[in-house]
Each structure stands twice: as structure tokens, then as C-alpha cells.
């Protein structure tokens, strides 16, 4: 798929979910790198940084996207010729895609251990990582039941219930606002993440924080399934995760909206759940309390402190 088509598909949410977005962007960059005509190293780098910028601008909240792009681009920073850069980039892109898929399998194994036989689980939105845990628990013979929310306005809950249904898991489909009503029946809330900050706050689909608040009130555990590349290194320097606000036409039909004179349609796609409302974050390297998020950023993302200062598109000065 072409670079511009992938960027458009991510922006329009035909490709969605933080892990899938990252893999699709890396695949598009890999294809783009392979099809670029032979050139000198500087031209190759410039074209790749331009392509990375196009993809990186598509959805601002999923930290998986800049993290993945930065990881694969670092392969061409060290190369000495355009040919080396191209093959190093290809290899690094393959590694990213492989390890991203492997991470989901590891998270499934670890997450399933935190699900007990007989558990009723509430999930929100459509997270590949969270669903992998649920499906693995079911596969290992635990009898579980799931409550899945609708996820207004884009209805990702329909994708979730299709997956759960196909896996043969007993599922209840509820509107988003019924989450607190059903919380007394829930043993565990299990969701994914678009970003995890250094203090362990979890950024996920709008409504997650309300669910976590209701879970906290009911003393129900909240578990988040998140690959290490969803942790946000720059939050160490106090940078905030940008919350994407999407067009109001996702909320109301335009012909109805056009009749309104004093109403503004507000459509944030994500919200922030504070670490106090999160019990555990399951990553591919183990399950941690949110307070240990810094360890993941330091040990597993392996960013040096000076790298935090730079955007993932390297300036010309940095290239010299
Ligand atoms: C998706 C969403 C998911 C996370 C994690 O939002 O909030 O919970 O991205 O998903 P959207 P995954 O539909 O707006 O992209 O575990 O698949 O990476």
C-alpha cells in the first residue's frame, strides 16, 4: 500500500488501534524505502524523514507511532551509504514488525495469568493486546464472561464483540454509559493503551477513565495491556500526551448539526486515567504496577536522555 494511502487510512481510522497503526506505518515506510530510486545517502535520508513526518502526523495520541518510527529510522542514521541505509532500514522494519507481534503473544500469556477461572471481565474499545489476554485465558480452559462497551462514536465495540464471538467467548454488549451500572458484576477491567506516561497514567479510548473511576469505587481491579513501545519517553521531560480531538461529524449527522446555532460538537478520542486507578500494566517483559513505568522507559526503550530532546525527524544539523 502506498505511503499516502496508509497515512490516509490511519487518519480516517480504516487502520486503527495503537499496535496496528505502528505496524502499518513501519510497513509503509519499508515499502517506500524499497521503491525509492537509487540516490546518495543525504537524498535517501531526506526522503525517509519526509515520509516519516507524513505518517507521524496522522494520529497524535498513539505514542506507538513516533516510537516505532524513531526505532526504524535509527537504522539509517548510522549507515554510511544509501545502499547500506536501505538494507539496514528494511531489516530494522522487519525486526519491529516481528517483535511487535511477538509482544502481543507474550502479553497474552502474562495477562491471562491475571485472569481467574470464573472471572467476568469488562473491556472498552478494541485493543488487540487486551483481547489477546482474554482469548488466551479462554483457550487455557478458564471459564470467563466479558462485558464489551459500544464505544461511541466510532463503534469499535462491534469489532470487539465480533472477535469475542468468533473465539466462542460468552459476551454481553452494553452502551458506554452502562459501565458503572454493571460494575458490581465485574471482577476485572481489562483495556489497552495508546500511551503510558512516566508516572503510569494510561491514555486510552475516551471513557476509559470513567470506567476506571467506577472500578476504583467498586474496588474492582483495572489491568492495562500495553507493549513497551507504547510508553512515552518524552513525558520524562514533562511533555504531555496530546489528546486527539476529532471532527464533530462523528457525533451527529451533518444535516442535524447544521440546524443547531449554539451547540459546539466536542469529540476527544482519548482520555487519561491516573495511575491511582490502574492496578497493573501488563507488558511483554512482565506485569508492573503503574508506578514502575519509568523502569520500562529507561530499561526497555533504551533511550538516552539527549534523544528525548529531539523530534523523531532529525534536523539537518543533527545529520552533519
Ligand atoms: C484504540 C484504542 C485501543 C488502543 C490499544 O483507539 O483506544 O484501546 O489503541 O489498542 P482507536 P491495541 O480505535 O481510536 O485507534 O492494543 O490494539 O494497540
Distance of alpha carbon 62 from alpha carbon 247, whole angstroms:
18
pLDDT at residue number 77: 87
pLDDT at residue number 316: 36
pLDDT at residue number 314: 35
Distance of alpha carbon 284 from alpha carbon 5, whole angstroms:
31
**Ligand 1 pocket, 16 CB below 6 A?**
yes
- Which domains are assigned to the chain? 3-105+305-319 (1.20.120.420), 106-300 (3.40.50.10470)
Of 17, 52, 11, 14, the C-alpha closest to 227 is 17
Q: Is residue 320 over pLDDT 60?
A: no
Ligand 1 atom nearest the C-alpha of 131 is 16
CB 161 within 8 Å of CB 173:
yes
Ligand 1 atom nearest the C-alpha of 154 is 13
Q: How many percent of the chain have pLDDT more than 70?
A: 94
**Ligand 1 pocket, 192 CB below 6 A?**
yes
Taking residues 228-256, what's their average pLDDT?
Answer: 94
**Ligand 1 pocket, 144 CB below 6 A?**
no
Distance 26 CA to ligand 1 centre (A): 17
C-alpha distance from residue 68 to each of 29, 33, 73 (Å): 11, 16, 9
CB 82 within 8 Å of CB 44:
yes
Active site residues: 125, 194
Summarised one tens digit per residue, pLDDT across range 276-316 is 999 999 999 999 999 999 999 988 876 655 555 444 433 33
Which alpha helices (H) appear in the chain, and where do they start and end?
Answer: 3-11, 18-35, 41-56, 64-77, 82-113, 128-139, 156-166, 179-182, 208-217, 254-257, 293-295, 316-319
Q: What's the mean pLDDT when you consider all of the chain?
A: 93
Biggest alpha carbon distance in the chain? 63
Q: Is residue 32 over pLDDT 90?
A: yes
Q: Is residue 91 over pLDDT 50?
A: yes
Residue 170 main-chain phi, psi, to 5 deg: -65, 120
Taking residues 56-76, what's their average pLDDT?
Answer: 95
Q: For 119-128, 205-214, 235-244, which range has the lowest pLDDT when averaged over its residues?
A: 235-244
Q: Is residue 319 over pLDDT 70?
A: no
The pick from 133, 205, 270 for probing ligand 1's pocket by mutation, whose C-beta has the most ligand atoms within 8 angstroms, reads: 205
**Ligand 1 pocket, 127 CB below 6 A?**
yes
CB-neighbour burial class of residue 123 (10 A; exposed 0-12, middle 13-18, buried 19+): buried
**Ligand 1 pocket, 202 CB below 6 A?**
no
Taking residues 156-183, what's their average pLDDT?
Answer: 98
pLDDT at residue number 302: 67
Q: For 21-25, 257-261, 309-313, which range has the lowest pLDDT when averaged over its residues?
A: 309-313
Ligand 1 atom nearest the C-alpha of 270 is 7
Q: What is the grid cell recorded at 268?
A: 476527544
**Ligand 1 pocket, 226 CB below 6 A?**
no
Taking residues 139-157, what's their average pLDDT?
Answer: 98
Ligand 1 atom nearest the C-alpha of 226 is 16
**Ligand 1 pocket, 134 CB below 6 A?**
no
Q: How far is CA 49 from the centre of its chain?
A: 22
**Ligand 1 pocket, 125 CB below 6 A?**
yes
**Ligand 1 pocket, 194 CB below 6 A?**
yes
The pick from 21, 126, 149 for probing ligand 1's pocket by mutation, whose C-beta has the most ligand atoms within 8 angstroms, reads: 126
Distance 195 CA to ligand 1 centre (A): 10
Ligand 1 atom nearest the C-alpha of 22 is 18
Distance 60 CA to ligand 1 centre (A): 13
pLDDT at residue number 66: 94
Distance of alpha carbon 139 from alpha carbon 167, whole angstroms:
9
pLDDT at residue number 309: 47
The pick from 58, 68, 127 for probing ligand 1's pocket by mutation, whose C-beta has the most ligand atoms within 8 angstroms, reads: 127
**Ligand 1 pocket, 233 CB below 6 A?**
no
Distance 115 CA to ligand 1 centre (A): 21
pLDDT at residue number 300: 83
Amino acid at each position: 500500500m502506498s505511503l499516502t494511502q496508509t497515512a490516509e487510512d490511519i487518519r480516517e481510522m480504516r487502520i486503527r488501534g495503537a499496535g496496528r497503526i505502528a505496524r502499518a506505518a513501519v510497513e509503509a515506510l519499508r515499502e517506500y524505502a524499497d521503491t525509492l530510486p537509487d540516490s546518495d545517502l543525504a537524498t535517501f535520508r531526506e526522503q525517509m524523514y519526509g515520509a516519516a513526518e507524513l505518517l507521524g502526523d496522522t494520529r497524535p495520541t498513539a505514542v506507538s507511532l513516533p516510537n516505532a518510527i524513531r526505532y526504524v529510522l535509527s537504522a539509517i542514521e548510522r549507515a554510511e551509504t544509501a545502499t547500506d541505509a536501505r538494507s539496514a532500514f528494511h531489516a530494522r522494519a522487519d525486526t519491529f514488525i516481528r517483535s511487535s507481534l511477538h509482544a502481543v503473544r507474550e502479553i497474552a500469556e502474562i495477562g491471562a495469568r491475571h485472569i481467574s477461572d470464573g472471572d467476568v471481565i469488562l473491556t472498552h474499545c478494541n485493543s488487540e493486546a487486551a483481547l489477546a489476554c482474554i482469548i488466551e485465558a479462554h483457550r487455557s480452559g478458564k471459564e470467563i464472561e466479558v462485558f464489551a462497551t459500544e464505544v461511541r462514536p466510532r463503534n469499535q465495540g462491534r469489532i470487539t464483540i465480533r472477535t469475542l464471538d468468533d473465539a466462542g467467548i460468552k459476551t454481553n454488549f452494553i452502551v458506554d454509559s452502562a459501565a458503572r451500572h454493571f460494575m458490581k458484576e465485574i471482577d476485572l477491567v481489562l483495556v489497552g493503551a495508546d500511551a503510558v506516561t512516566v508516572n503510569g497514567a494510561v491514555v486510552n479510548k475516551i471513557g476509559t477513565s470513567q470506567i476506571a473511576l467506577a472500578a476504583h469505587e467498586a474496588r474492582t481491579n483495572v489491568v492495562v495491556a500495553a507493549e513497551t513501545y507504547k510508553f512515552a519517553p518524552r513525558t520524562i521531560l514533562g511533555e504531555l500526551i496530546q489528546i486527539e480531538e476529532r471532527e464533530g461529524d462523528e457525533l451527529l449527522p451533518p444535516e442535524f448539526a447544521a440546524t443547531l446555532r449554539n451547540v459546539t460538537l466536542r469529540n476527544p478520542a482519548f482520555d487519561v486515567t491516573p495511575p491511582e486507578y490502574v492496578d497493573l500494566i501488563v507488558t511483554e517483559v512482565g506485569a508492573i504496577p503503574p508506578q514502575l513505568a519509568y523502569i520500562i522507559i529507561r530499561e526497555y526503550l533504551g533511550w538516552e536522555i539527549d534523544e528525548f530532546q529531539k523530534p523523531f525527524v532529525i534536523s539537518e544539523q543533527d545529520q552533519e
